[in-house]
Structure formats: C-alpha cells, structure tokens
Amino acid sequence: MAKAIEILGKNEKELAEISRRFMLALNVQEMEKIQTYFKKLGRNPTDIELETFAQTWSEHCVHKTFAGVIEYGGKKINGLLKSYIIKATKDLALPWCVHVFEDNAGIVTFDGRHNIAVKVETHNHPSALDPYGGAGTGSGGVFRDVMGVGAKPILSTDILFFAPPDYPQSKLPPGVLHPKRLMKGVVAGIRDYGNRMGIPTANGGFGFHEGYVGNPLVYAGCLGIMPNDKYVRDPKPGDKIVLAGGRTGRDGIHGVTFASLELSAESEKTSSGAVQIGNAIEEKRVLDGLLAARDRHPKPLYSAVTDCGGGGLSSAIGEMGKKTGARVWLEKVPLKYEGLEPWEIWVSEAQERMILAVPEANVDEVLEIFRNENTEANAIGEFTSDRRLTLMFNDKIIGELGMEFLHEGIPRVERKAEFKARGTKDPDLADEKDFGESLKGILGSPTVASKEWVIRQYDHEVQAKTVIKPLQGFGGPGDACVLRPLYDEFGGIVVSNGYNPRFSGDPYRMALSAIDEAMRNNVCCGGRRIALLDNFSWGNPEKPDRLGALVEAVKACHDGSLGFRAPFISGKDSLYNEYGLGSNSKETISIPYTLVVTAVGIIPDIRKAVTMDLKEEGNPVYMVGETKDEMGGSHYYMIKRLEGGAIPGTEAAKARETMDSLTKAIDMSLVRACHDCSEGGLAVAAAEMCIAGDLGMKIDLRKVPQKGIRKNYKLLFSESNSRFLVEVGKAEEKEFEKIMGNSASKIGEVAAAKFIVTSLNGKEILNEKIDGLKKVWRGTFNW
C-alpha cells in the first residue's frame, strides 16, 4: 500500500537526497515547490503522489528546457519551442495543417477525405543498454503515438547513429556495448517489431561518428492515415477510463526519469528496470481493436484515446484528464504477476497498452471488441468534473492531487546559454592527380556505404503500399520513399530525412542543412507541400555551451521553416545524451549535436514519382544548384583526417524556388532520374546513380555551376546544399532548361560502365569502372 514520505520541514539537502533515493530525478526547486504544495494541504505526500510528480515533471514529458527561460546573448528567450519553431508554423498559417504540436502526432490533410498523422521520437538510452528490446519498444511506442490520434500506421522509419562499426574493442569505455553489436541488435529490434506487426519499414537512415560510442541514437518514426472525420479528443466527465492491451508488470519503471540522467558505467546496474522487450503481436491486436472501435459506427465509440508511453498510466491519464479530473481504481489494472506496489502499477511502462475515454453507454461494446481481438480491456476509472486526480486502491484513497498544480505548478527552469563560433579556416589542399582512391574511401565509409544488409531484413512491402522503395535500380540508395496509402486513387505520400552531425560545429548551419537535405530528398522523388518534424538529440542542457548550440539550431529551424515555407508539425527532443569515460573522471562527453528533420510531402500522382538510378546511355546529366567552397564537415576531409573549412550554408528562399522548378519538371515527366548531393558531394551522388543504374557517367567539372572554386576536389566533394544531379530525356533537354532557367547546367551524359571526370584544366582526373566502385560501396556492411 501507499506510504507517506516525509518531506515537510526538510531542508534543501535532505530534499535532494529524497529525490535521489527514490530515483525521482526532481531538482531542489521542484522538490521545494512540491513541499510548499503539501504544506498548504497540511500533510506529507504519499509515494504514489511523489512518483506522479516525478513522471509528469520529467524532462521527457514536459520538455523543461524547450519550455523554459533561456538567457542567451544578453536576451531572455521565453520558451524556445514557442518563440521559434511553433512561431514559424503559426506565421505560415497553412490551411493544410490540421493538428500541430498539440497531440501525440502531427496531423496534415491528405486528399480531402483523409489525413496523415506522423510522429518521430527517440529511444536512445534504453537502446544503449539493450539494443534489441530498446529499439523494438521504440518502434512500438511511436506506432502507438500514431494510433493514439486514431490513425492506422502505414510506415515505419528509423534513423540510427552509432560509432563506426570497426571501432577498436580496446578503446571502448567501460559498460558500453560495441557499436557493431549495438547496430545488429537495434536493426533486429526494429525489424522484428515492424515485420511482426505488419508495418513496412521503408525509410530510414544511418549516421556514424566516434562521438556516439557511449551513447547511440535511435530515432523511430511512424506515419499513419485516417479518415478526416474520425479524430476525437474530448473526454467528458463520467466517461470511463478503459485500459486496453498488455498486462502491467515492473517493466520500465523509472524509464522516463532515467532518460533525464546521463549514462554512466553504473547505468547497467541501476537502470535494469528501464529495459523492456516488446510484443508486436499484442500491439497488432490492440491496433485492430482500436480501428474497430473507431470504425464500427459512424462516430468512434470512444471520446478520446492516447497511448501509454513514458510515465505509463500516470502520464496518459494525467494528461487526458487535465481539464476534467480523473479517478482511478488501480486494483483493476490486470497484472502480469503479483506483488506490485500501487505506485509501480501507476508508473509502469509496460508496453502495448492504450488508454481510451469511453462514454458509459459504449463501454460494453468496446470491451467486447477488444475481447474479440484476443486482447484484454478493462475499465479502470472514470473522468470526473472536480479537476482532481484521485488514485484509489481497494476503496482507499492513496493519492489526491489538483490537476492544475500537477500540470502548471512546475517551476520553469531558467538556464544560461552561450555559443562560440568555431574557426572556419580551410586547410586548402593540393589537388590529387587521380581521385579514384578518395572516391572509394568515401563510398566505403559507413555513413555512405550500402545499407542493403539492413534494408533486406526489413519488410518494406507489407500492406502493399510502397511504390518507391529504399533500394532503387540495382540496389541504389533511394532519396525518399513513396507510399500509395489508398488503393483507389493515385495520390501518394513522400517521406524523407535530413541530418548531418558532421556539421555540428556550426549548429545553425547544421540545422538548416538538415532541413534542406530532408526537403531535397523529398523533392527528388516528386514530393511537394512538405511538412517537417524536428528531433533534437543533444548534450546536457544545463551546460551553457550545449544549450547555446541548441538555441542556434532552433533559430535555424525557425528561419528555415519560413524560408522554405515548410511548417514544422511535430517534434521531440532528447537531451542529456552524454556519457562518462570512466568512474574516476567526472568529465562527460556530449554526443555530436544531432538534429534529424523528417519531411512528409505528397505527390498527386505516384506514377510520376522519380527514382535515382540512371536509365539510359546518352541521356544528358544536369547539375542543379550552385557548388561553393564549403568543405567543412565534408566526408572528403573526414577520410583525409582534416578539420576546418566552412560548413555549408543554405539560402532557403532561393532553394525553394529551385525545388519548385524541379517539381514542375518532374510533373511534366522530363526527369528520368534525380538524386541529391549530400555526403560526398557531386562525386558520390554521381557514383551512386551509376551503381543503381548499372551504367556510367561522363562529366566535365568546367561546366559545374559554382562560386569561386579553383580546386577540383572542392567541386567533386564539397557538400554544398540545395543541389541535385538530374538525368533528363534526350528529347526533353530544351524544355528542361527552359523550366530550370539558370539554376541548372548540363555537365555531362550517361555513359556505359565507367565514371569519368574531366578536371578544370581539361585533364581526366577520374576513370573508374562502376563494378569496382560497387564492390567497395557494398563491401562495408557485407555482414
């Protein structure tokens, strides 16, 4: 049963000790605020009440940093998210944004009858400890987010960051799993959850950097589709709280508060409760039940639905009953095994559970629906009108809190941020005579190399909606995936990603680059009317330099969103991604600042979608967009082990214009193949198109549109943004040029079997057989 925890009359130090002992991860200011609240009530809190605060006020649930006050450059920013990212979306005021930044997933319109729901989030810490279970439950969790707005998941997308797979065993910090083992486990976790549940994993990405050795990143995303009149979120007093799905055990207790702590060698011992293994089959049953409850009658049988994710019942019910009040009978929650304390039932993060608000008249029908799907559902409480959260166990009140204080009482954090720009002095190398070895070096580097080993494990065809698949032509790396969500129309959804942690030396430019990359990947396949999602994985925000970099990146999201006229519709942040190197040193290392931008576009007719594999010998090849002297963070400098150089900038408004022209050309079927230039620049994009088409290419660097570059290596490998490599039909040259204006320049043509490059002074500086390039590119992950 619940027991009281003495906090009245305790001093700062003692409060901090209580927070630590019960693993609440609440800081002293928060503990004091709670103390004051209970002082007014004239009693001590019970364990379950303190736990409720710990969950509801955790970084994971309320995003303290993004909502807090930040002092930066002499100014106070009043809420990063509101002041920048949401502000841009509001300023754009696009009519097709239906629900943004307010529910489990962002919702935009699709075709006038249906809406698209999409969500991406991270599952970094659990995946670091148990890659298989952590990544699997990450997928399961994000699927439930999409189910939690009433949509049916039709795509799983996963972006993963590890240290290089050949990282030396001897250099591994204690308590850390080897990156190769992590990667295998994570891929298996995503594979098993998606495949077993019948959701195609048809999009994703990888990044490799030494900085992830102690803290890998696992981003799981999901996209769903729903009839546009089926969204409800209006729990009424008297509605029953129905818990559907799996049983509750000790799984994942303190997972949320654990995510707000840094990883250490001790994590392995102290955090075992945070690790869970998902049951995809159970979630499939819950999904089927939910869809039946949504569709059996013209109106859904429930008045609100949400998933049980971080914080378990406490977060789900606390959030849903925010405006009404709720009363919960914890003894009615079905358990996996006996012996759980009531507070454990309340905060358990057992997977595959959903919470529904069901009007009393519909309860029996809803319970029957879930029973028919072979899964459990039980009424475990009801919504009230007293704006209080009342927790009962066997007819005894064991916790009673005001909803207002629970949700609004949290003291806003005030943090300081500072940022120092890094030097951009370029090493300016001498040119090579033959770039063959450098090109192969980049093609074989883990971020660029073929991920066929991974992709073949994922079922990307299930549900039969995947039109443009992850492997294109002869196994080439696709830019985006195109789905046809409804079998009776040709409209499609285009999903792509952008990220580049190698640019994190300049977080503002890094964030803009991520947006640009996500956008151009989407445009490559024919996407337009693009909505964006932001996902930050950052270091400890209590350290001013980390926070300063975060502010810079967030500002870039605002500017990029307006420049590209692409609204952010949902986002998430995972902070505290730092790790210690050993028990002696208190110093911790942050991961490279990582922002993943997911772009969701639509295409009116999927038959017009374009792939990146070269199609026909003799066709002209165009370079769209300007190449600049921007070698900072490039893969070329990485393989040469060099620092410095300018991180690529982005002229968003101009880029958007170019993209619009390209979209027009795609709609007119002028474009045969299109690929964006990202890691490895022009050279790698061209090589990938050749490999995918099993054809060659001849290009002349003198014809590449550029600004002030006199070195061949810069033209080949600069990673300037907003650039595309486009194969155009022979007969369509004129028309293509007319549409693209001066943003495109013909740089060569599709050839047979070889990739040949002519230098700025007319010499041949690259002449490689495609077979040879392919072998290197496919060799790295030949596991």
Task: Name the segment binding another protein (CB under 8 A); options: 270-278, 425-433, 527-535, 580-588.
Answer: 270-278
Please, which residue, 178 or 746, has the CB nearer to another protein?
A: 178
Task: Name the segment binding another protein (CB under 8 A); options: 25-33, 71-79, 227-235, 267-275.
Answer: 267-275
- The type of residue at 665 is A
Q: Does 580 bind another protein (CB under 8 A)?
A: no
Q: Of residues 279, 306, 513, 627, which one binds another protein by CB under 8 A?
A: 279
- Smallest distance, Å, CB 605 to another protein? 40
- Smallest distance, Å, CB 183 to another protein? 12
Q: Of residues 8, 265, 277, 562, which one binds another protein by CB under 8 A?
A: 277
Do 571 and 101 meet the contact criterion of CB atoms below 8 Å apart? yes
- Smallest distance, Å, CB 129 to another protein? 6
Do 398 and 48 meet the contact criterion of CB atoms below 8 Å apart? yes
Q: Checking DSSP bridges between strand 388-393 and strand 396-402, what pairing results, if any?
A: antiparallel
Q: What is the CA radius of gyration of the chain?
A: 26
Q: Does 124 bind another protein (CB under 8 A)?
A: no
- Smallest distance, Å, CB 484 to another protein? 31
- Smallest distance, Å, CB 589 to another protein? 22
- Which tokens belong to 607? 């038959």
Q: Of residues 34, 183, 244, 275, which one binds another protein by CB under 8 A?
A: 275
- Return the closest-CA partner of residue 347 out of 570, 50, 653: 50
Please, which residue, 312 or 498, has the CB nearer to another protein?
A: 312
Do 497 and 157 meet the contact criterion of CB atoms below 8 Å apart? yes
Signed CA dihedral, 249, 250, 251, 257: sign only: positive
Q: Of residues 70, 97, 129, 159, which one binds another protein by CB under 8 A?
A: 129
Task: Name the segment binding another protein (CB under 8 A); options: 249-257, 295-303, 318-326, 734-742.
Answer: 249-257
DSSP string, 523-555: HHHT-EEEEEEEEEE-S-TTSHHHHHHHHHHHH
Q: Does 282 bind another protein (CB under 8 A)?
A: yes
Q: Does 396 bind another protein (CB under 8 A)?
A: no
Instruction: Determine which one of 123, 558, 635, 675 is catalytic.
Output: 123
60 is catalytic: yes
Do 236 and 359 meet the contact criterion of CB atoms below 8 Å apart? yes
Signed CA dihedral, 233, 237, 243, 244: sign only: negative
Contact map string, positions 326 to 355, toward another protein, x by CB under 8 A:
-----------x-------------x----
Report CA-CA distances (Å) from 738 to 34, 525, 743. 67, 21, 10
Q: Of residues 45, 68, 106, 133, which one binds another protein by CB under 8 A?
A: 133
Task: Name the segment binding another protein (CB under 8 A); options: 129-137, 224-232, 507-515, 712-720.
Answer: 129-137
- The type of residue at 579 is Y
DSSP state of 149: T
| Helices marked H in 309-432 | 312-320, 342-347, 363-372, 403-408
Q: Of residues 456, 734, 763, 783, which one binds another protein by CB under 8 A?
A: 783
Q: Does 585 bind another protein (CB under 8 A)?
A: no
- Smallest distance, Å, CB 776 to another protein? 19
Q: Does 584 bind another protein (CB under 8 A)?
A: no
- For residue 586, the tally of other CB atoms under 10 A from its CB is 6
Q: Of residues 30, 47, 59, 251, which one binds another protein by CB under 8 A?
A: 251
Task: Name the segment binding another protein (CB under 8 A); options: 124-132, 357-365, 379-387, 478-486.
Answer: 124-132
Beta partners for residue 497, in sequence order: 598
| Helices marked H in 148-279 | 179-197, 255-259, 267-270
- Which tokens belong to 236? 């009424």
Q: Does 278 bind another protein (CB under 8 A)?
A: yes
Q: Does 281 bind another protein (CB under 8 A)?
A: yes
Q: Checking DSSP bridges between strand 588-590 and strand 578-580, what pairing results, if any?
A: antiparallel
Please, which residue, 269 or 420, has the CB nearer to another protein?
A: 269
- Smallest distance, Å, CB 521 to another protein? 31
- Smallest distance, Å, CB 453 to another protein? 10
558 is catalytic: no
DSSP state of 45: P
């990212």: which residue's tokens? Answer: 85
| Distance (Å, whole) CA 590 – CA 218 | 16
Q: Is 622 helix (H, G, I), strand (E, B) or coil?
A: strand
Q: Does 250 bind another protein (CB under 8 A)?
A: yes
Q: Is 240 helix (H, G, I), strand (E, B) or coil?
A: strand
- Return the closest-CA partner of residue 430 out of 720, 714, 756: 714
Please, which residue, 279 or 500, has the CB nearer to another protein?
A: 279
- Which tokens belong to 182? 């992590």
User: Residue 439: which residues within 8 A CB-CB, separation 6 or more?
Assistant: 680, 683, 684, 687, 716, 766, 768, 773
Signed CA dihedral, 127, 131, 133, 137: sign only: positive
Report CA-CA distances (Å) from 371 to 153, 185, 285, 306, 366. 22, 33, 10, 19, 9
- Which tokens belong to 460? 């990307």
Please, which residue, 19 or 127, has the CB nearer to another protein?
A: 127
Applying CB under 8 A, the site for another protein has a residue count of 28
Q: Does 276 bind another protein (CB under 8 A)?
A: yes
The CA-CA-CA angle for residues 281, 282, 284, to 5°, reads: 65
Q: Of 43-102, which residues contact another protein (CB under 8 A)?
A: none
- Smallest distance, Å, CB 782 to another protein? 10
Do 713 and 431 meet the contact criterion of CB atoms below 8 Å apart? yes
Please, which residue, 172 or 562, has the CB nearer to another protein?
A: 172
- Smallest distance, Å, CB 334 to another protein? 14
Do 140 and 285 meet the contact criterion of CB atoms below 8 Å apart? no
Please, which residue, 185 or 477, has the CB nearer to another protein?
A: 185
Task: Name the segment binding another protein (CB under 8 A); options: 127-135, 521-529, 678-686, 718-726.
Answer: 127-135
Please, which residue, 337 or 487, has the CB nearer to another protein?
A: 337
Task: Name the segment binding another protein (CB under 8 A); options: 17-25, 94-102, 246-254, 482-490.
Answer: 246-254
Q: Of 163-222, which residues contact another protein (CB under 8 A)?
A: 169, 177-178, 180-181, 184-185
Instruction: Determine which one of 60, 99, 125, 635 is catalytic.
Output: 60
- Which tokens belong to 514? 């991520």
Q: Of 724-763, which residues contact another protein (CB under 8 A)?
A: none
Task: Name the segment binding another protein (CB under 8 A); options: 34-42, 198-206, 271-279, 573-581.
Answer: 271-279
Q: Of residues 249, 289, 476, 620, which one binds another protein by CB under 8 A?
A: 249
Q: Is 686 helix (H, G, I), strand (E, B) or coil?
A: helix
Please, which residue, 177 or 533, has the CB nearer to another protein?
A: 177
Burial class (CB in 10 A: 0-12, 13-18, 19+), 761: exposed
Please, which residue, 131 or 310, has the CB nearer to another protein?
A: 131
Tell me which residues touch another protein (CB under 8 A).
Answer: 129-133, 169, 177-178, 180-181, 184-185, 249-251, 268, 272, 275-282, 337, 351, 783
Which residues are part of the catalytic machinery? 60, 123
